[in-house]
Chain A
Amino acid sequence: MIELLRVSKVFNQGRHNEYAAVREVSAVIATGRVTVIKGPSGSGKTTLLSLAGCMARPTSGRIWLREMRLPAGLGDGREVELSSLPERFLTGIRRGMFGVIFQQFNLIKGISALENVLLPAYPLGGDMAGLRRRGAGLLASLGMERQAASRVEWLSGGEAQRVAIARALINDPQVIMADEPTAHLDTALSREFMETVGRFRDEGRSVVIASHDPIVCGSPYVDSLIEMRDGDLTGQSAPTPPAP
């Protein structure tokens, strides 16, 4: 699980435009479950997602990874406290344990869908032929085999998202983080995305989604809700017990 303890994030600290995006938030993200961070625009849900996904450091508070498969040499092998880790280790965790799907999908333009999918794997130094096979397999599993060689700027919103999903999966992460994943999708594609999320959960992955979309928040695949408003935690529902 990911445990956040009295976590705050202040931007532009000490300047006239200083603001606290997240204030003293304590929450738990359960392993192998789907957790949605819910809240209106500006509530701090994306910032909380970034903090939990090692993409930003908290200004104060602590974040723990517990009962997860940690990269070799980190913590005692079962749990690690993130906020004090050097950048190199945080990157290793981000690369090995987390797959991220961004709101704008954040694909790199000018290269193909398959090349985008492979990007997170390059620094791991794997065999290129094997990587390409794996990337192509992931795209095929999402119905994107025909678009594998297409440049990403030619893809539709739904296709671009599937490329982003495949990219998030290339390093076989334990946790999938998604920021407003349905913001640019219609209802059918949003429901399809939540079904994909359900499959991730079935594979034993944890999924954390920041969203205020009712299709996401009300989805039967969601196990737990963390509610945010103006940077404060306003509620957290306990995760539903796993199906027997």
Chain B
Amino acid sequence: MTPGIARYRNILDFTLRAMLRRRGKNLLVLTLFTLVIAVFASILLFTRSLRHEAGLVLKEAPEIVVQRMVAGRHDLISAEHVARIASLPGVRGVAPRLWGYYFDPSANATFTLVVPPDGGIGEGKARIGVGVGRSRKLFRGNTLVMRGYDGREHALEIEALIPEESELVSSDLVIVSERDFRSLFSFPSGRATDLAVTVANPREVGTVAGKIAELLPDTRTVTRDDIIATYQALFDWRSGVMGLIFASALISFALFAWDRATGLSAEERRETGILKAIGWETADILLMKFSEGAVIALISFLGGCILAWLHLHFFWGSLFGAFLKGWSTLYPYFRLAPVIDPYNLAVLFMLTVPPYIAAILIPSWRAASMDPDTVMREQ
């Protein structure tokens, strides 16, 4: 072993033993630091996961949705409009959509009922989202009973649970046949909830939407860009709130780091003086302090990230979830899948680990740069 490596190993060996001597203090710092990182990481993971979910929602959104308006309210649209819109230049396809909401008193939640455009589900059958299954304790093969518009019960056999690529998209879904849907809500035939329009050239979406509005003055068109803007506003607002929480956590961390940076304890100063007097160089002391800071910061960073992941994965972000997800209690409970973003983790690392190590090194460097005699006399 070269003297350089042996020197580092010896100093590291002493550092670890020195840390064990201050077990209580170091554990306190480690716990506090881990919690700060966990809060940071939870917020970052949460934001990332919400954006990821939003991306999945938008992926499925049609380019233009046409809704009929009556007295400024969304109303059912006639299926006859399909042919008129389809005749417009630039329109590739128009599909009537059947969907609606169903409040389930036993689950105290609102489900979204959807009829698949391809009609690929049989009468008396249903495919349900995991949130619906969870809230009603239903599995494949069970029967989902729903109360119709006239109070009569409709029994639907659960054909499958919808795979949970995104719970935000699928959690509350109940997919039923057109006949069941119309029968449940007394939904008039020849009417749809809205129309989904696909456009041949994505750059013509605005123009086509304008033509539809002109052709059918009692409708409104909602483009995917409009949805993106709505989501953006929603997430920006939530990001702002999270930014506030983030800033609070950052300020707490800065105060904590500042407290560390403002000085060494009398005992630490004494030890620094002793080590200098018996022949340790300033660089040796800084190496020791760096190792001490790095051990605490890296363990805290790792621990904080794992805690944040556990918080999101197993506790579904319950500390901020209700507030940040923003859904009412009527929405079936959904689990947000944590999405780990290396860039976010790198930012978090840079915001926390180097400042903490610097906060340890600066006062040590100041103490270690003085003559050992001066350090000893300052006790």
Contact = CB atoms under 8 A, between A and B. Distances in A.
B3 A125 contact: yes
A167 interface: yes
Nearest to B280: A123
A106 B274 contact: yes
B277 A100 contact: yes
Given A106-B274, A122-B10, A55 B279 contact: no
A135 to B, nearest CB: 12
A122 B21 contact: no
Interface residues of A, number: 36
A123 B7 contact: yes
Contact of B7 (A107, A108, A122): A122
Nearest to B374: A56
B4 A167 contact: no
Interface stretch (A109-117, A142-150, A217-225): A109-117
A170 B367 CA distance: 25
B306 to A, nearest CB: 30
Nearest to A95: B279
A228 to B, nearest CB: 16
A102 B277 contact: yes
B281 interface: yes
Contacts of B279: 91, 94-96, 98, 120, 123, 171
Interface in A24-56: 47, 50, 55-56
Interface stretch (B12-20, B204-212, B316-324): B12-20
B284 interface: yes
A88 to B, nearest CB: 6
A202 interface: no
B11 A123 contact: yes
Given A50-B373, A126-B6, A115 B277 contact: no
B96 interface: no
A217 to B, nearest CB: 23
B156 interface: no
A100 B278 contact: yes
B281 to A, nearest CB: 5
Contacts of A121: 10
Interface string B365-379: 000010111101100
A127 interface: yes
Contacts of A56: 371-374
Nearest to B375: A55
B89 to A, nearest CB: 82
A214 B271 CA distance: 31
Contacts of A1: none
A109 B22 CA distance: 11
Contacts of A123: 7, 10-11, 279-281, 284
| Chain B interface size range | 35 or more
Nearest to B13: A128
A185 to B, nearest CB: 20
Interface string B337-376: 0000000000000000000000000000000010111101
B9 interface: yes
Contacts of A88: 281
Interface string B277-305: 11111101000000000000000000000
A238 interface: no
Given A55-B371, A55-B373, A110-B21, A119 B7 contact: no
Interface in B10-41: 10-11, 13-14, 17-18, 21-22
Contacts of A98: 279
Contacts of B376: 102, 106
A56 B273 CA distance: 12
A87 B282 contact: yes
A122 B373 contact: no
Contacts of A111: 17-18, 21
A124 interface: yes
B228 interface: no
A205 interface: no
B18 to A, nearest CB: 7
Contacts of B282: 87, 91
A201 interface: no
Contacts of B371: 50, 55-57
A91 to B, nearest CB: 5
A125 B4 contact: yes
Nearest to A122: B10
A125 B5 contact: yes
Given A55-B372, A102-B277, A123-B284, 12 more contacts: A55-B276, A55-B277, A91-B282, A94-B277, A100-B278, A111-B18, A115-B14, A122-B13, A123-B280, A124-B3, A125-B8, A131-B10
A-B CB proximity, top 7 nearest: A95-B279, A110-B21, A125-B7, A125-B3, A56-B373, A125-B6, A122-B10
Interface of A: 11, 47, 50, 55-57, 87-88, 91-92, 94-96, 98, 100, 102, 106-111, 115, 119-128, 131, 167, 171
29 contacts: A50-B373, A55-B276, A55-B372, A55-B373, A56-B371, A56-B373, A56-B374, A91-B280, A95-B278, A95-B280, A106-B270, A106-B274, A106-B376, A108-B274, A110-B18, A110-B21, A111-B21, A115-B17, A121-B10, A122-B10, A122-B11, A123-B7, A123-B279, A125-B5, A125-B6, A128-B6, A128-B13, A131-B10, A167-B278
